[in-house]
Amino acid sequence: MSELSPNHIQFDQTVFQKIFDKINTLIFLIDTSGKVLKSNFYAKKMVNIKSLLPKKDWEKVERVIQSGLIETDPHIEIETELIIDSDKTWHSCRIGCLERCAEDEAVFFIAFNSIQAQKLREESLINAKERAESQEKIKSSFIANMSHEIRTPMNSIIGFSDLIGRTDNQEEQSQYLEIIKSSGRFLLNIINDVIDISQIESGFLHIKAQRVNINYLINELADIYRSDARLDKQNVEIITMMPLEDKKALILTDKTRIRQILSNLLDNAVKFTKKGNIEFGYKLIKKKENEGFPLIRFHVKDTGIGIPEPEQELIFDRFHQVREGDQSIGSGLGLAIVKALVEKLGGSLSLVSKNGIGSEFSFIIPYLQPNTQEPDTRESMMRGAIPDLKGRHILIAEDIDENYKLVSSALKKSSVKLTWAKNGKEAVEAVIRDEHFDLVLMDLSMPIMDGYKATEHIKALQPKLPIIALTAHVVDGDMEKAFEAGCDDYIKKPLDILSFYRKLNFHLNM
């Protein structure tokens, strides 16, 4: 240890050498040719300074060297990415002339300080700002698009409702009614799409593994689309492809989502095909042993107008539509949802299309079979005819008059006996009064006692009495809550009359 106090230290060359070595900076002394004359402890491994710097920054150093021979104190400060052991790290770099030795000789210093941490912080701030700006842009264009999409059908609904009251001509009235109905359906599709997009974005969309008979599903969809009013039945044929026998066609996947994906693709195929055919179905992709699960490839193929090559990537973006007139027949959200759903199911969506010839959308998911092979009785029992419910008694728990009226009108021709409870408490009391009910239709959000509580009470009293939740709550968690409370099934509002009849048929074992 030195005997001198700090005040007595002689600042000679040794002391400066020590500082030079201890300082956490790379320091080089170089001559006019760029050769390293001396470097400090941190820099000593790096003998070729030129190779440390990107070319454009080395050129700046060279300019300082040139002017060092003419000017008195040339120096610059730059930010550069040093390449050390093939890693790039950001440094601030100061270069200056230390001493002129002769007319064409001088010594220069170059000092590098790491600013990597600062640069990373800056980068992440810039990224966050860009993300926020693009989110903001997406949000604004989303709101602008939505407002347009919603206004269009609303305009028809309000306009034609007004006109319907001003005419006595029955033909005109039924024509206006058709427009109101189809605008209502269009509006509902948009609302469902928006809910799906927001669920996907918030990570709230959960996939459930259910037993699905894909042959039944495809037959059901084929029936629906063959009778779709938009299909040009004279010129377009719907063909199905189901190579597996029913027993083997029972797979584990999310039924609602598979159905939604195929329906969205079929909607588009029907919209954009004016002649030829629409073929949809699946194919099993067998794998060799040890190559993992077999896979199943679903497809929807049409001979429609096709999609031009440059548009084929873009159509999966929200609101992207190929042609000017497309917005009058869709919202441009369908394929964005389909793509996200397919990815959620563990697959990926592909498109092969030729402008003017047709398109084929396909996706592959794992072929997983449930352990038991019982047939999917639920599926086979679902029929859509108006049920004959003579002698049956249904309890409806519903607080809103119009909703009760809709259900009772839908059941008018079924000869069923109905009892109306205006909240959960009244429903429980009706069951306690021991009225004999065959089924309960339960609205979930009601005053005094909600449908979840009422279901729990009724199931405690009569566990075998089937309860169907009748609800506008379409978010996944609400359905699960309803099942936890004891509901046996659910029907979404607004009521789809055909599926309402199917569910009644099924639960009343018709």
Asked if residue 214 binds ligand ADP (CB under 6 A), the reply is no
- Tokens representing residue 374 in the block: 């019982």
Which listed residue (153, 304, 387, 451) binds ligand ADP by CB under 6 A? 304
Cβ proximity to ligand ADP, 215 vs 359, nearer residue: 359
Q: Least distance in Å: CB of 477 to ligand ADP?
A: 27
Q: What distances in angstroms separate CA 378 from CA 359, 483, 502, 506, one per listed residue? A: 34, 17, 10, 7
- Tokens representing residue 83 in the block: 């390449």
Which listed residue (190, 222, 238, 315) binds ligand ADP by CB under 6 A? 315
Cβ proximity to ligand ADP, 97 vs 337, nearer residue: 337
Q: Least distance in Å: CB of 217 to ligand ADP?
A: 20
Which listed residue (149, 196, 302, 379) binds ligand ADP by CB under 6 A? 302
Asked if residue 258 binds ligand ADP (CB under 6 A), the reply is no
Q: Per-residue string for binding with ligand ADP, 80-119, x by CB under 6 A?
A: ----------------------------------------
Asked if residue 321 binds ligand ADP (CB under 6 A), the reply is yes
Q: Least distance in Å: CB of 187 to ligand ADP?
A: 13
Asked if residue 335 binds ligand ADP (CB under 6 A), the reply is yes
Reference 470, options 380, 416, 385, 395; nearest CA is 395
Number of residues that bind ligand ADP (CB under 6 A): 22
Cβ proximity to ligand ADP, 193 vs 443, nearer residue: 193
Which listed residue (74, 330, 466, 486) binds ligand ADP by CB under 6 A? 330
Q: Which residues of 289-318 are buried (b: 16+ CB within 10 A; e: fewer)?
A: eeeeeebbbbbbbbbbbbbeeeebeebbeb
By CB under 6 A, which span of 124-132, 148-156, 267-275, 488-496 interacts with ligand ADP? Answer: 267-275
**Positive or negative, the Cα torsion across 139, 143, 146, 148?**
negative
Which listed residue (218, 242, 249, 269) binds ligand ADP by CB under 6 A? 269
CA-CA distance, 136 to 130, in Å (whole number)? 10
Q: Least distance in Å: CB of 341 to ligand ADP?
A: 12
Cβ proximity to ligand ADP, 144 vs 400, nearer residue: 144
The one-character DSSP state at 346 is: T
Cβ proximity to ligand ADP, 180 vs 307, nearer residue: 307
CA-CA distance, 5 to 455, in Å (whole number)? 88
Which listed residue (176, 216, 272, 501) binds ligand ADP by CB under 6 A? 272
Q: Per-residue string for binding with ligand ADP, 349-378, x by CB under 6 A?
A: ----------x-------------------
Cβ proximity to ligand ADP, 26 vs 231, nearer residue: 231
Asked if residue 268 binds ligand ADP (CB under 6 A), the reply is yes
Q: Which long-range contacts (CB under 8 A, 24 or more apart) does 499-505 make?
A: 499/384, 500/410, 501/383, 501/384, 501/385, 501/386, 501/387, 501/410, 502/382, 502/383, 502/384, 503/382, 503/468, 504/387, 504/389, 504/414, 504/439, 505/381, 505/382, 505/383, 505/384, 505/385, 505/387
Reference 143, options 316, 327, 318, 314; nearest CA is 318
Asked if residue 281 binds ligand ADP (CB under 6 A), the reply is no
The residue sitting closest to ligand ADP, measured at its beta carbon, is 330
Q: Least distance in Å: CB of 243 to ligand ADP?
A: 23
Asked if residue 332 binds ligand ADP (CB under 6 A), the reply is yes
* Chain centre to alpha carbon of residue 45: 52
DSSP letters, 142-200, are HHHHHHHHHHHHHHHHHHHHHHHTT---HHHHHHHHHHHHHHHHHHHHHHHHHHHHHHH
Q: Least distance in Å: CB of 188 to ligand ADP?
A: 14
Which listed residue (326, 456, 476, 496) binds ligand ADP by CB under 6 A? 326
Q: Which residue has the tokens 């009778």?
A: 227
By CB under 6 A, which span of 47-55, 304-312, 366-374, 377-385 interacts with ligand ADP? Answer: 304-312
- The four Cα atoms 457, 461, 467, 473 give a dihedral, to 10 degrees, of 10
Helix axes 401-410, 497-507, angle to 10 degrees: 70
CA-CA distance, 233 to 362, in Å (whole number)? 24
- Tokens representing residue 389 in the block: 């419910």
**Other Cβ atoms within 10 Å of 502 Cβ, number:** 20
Strand 439-443 to 467-471 pairing: parallel
Which listed residue (30, 64, 305, 427) binds ligand ADP by CB under 6 A? 305
Which listed residue (74, 334, 347, 424) binds ligand ADP by CB under 6 A? 334
Question: Which residues here bind ligand ADP, judged by CB under 6 A?
Answer: 268-269, 272, 302, 304-307, 315, 320-323, 326, 330-336, 359
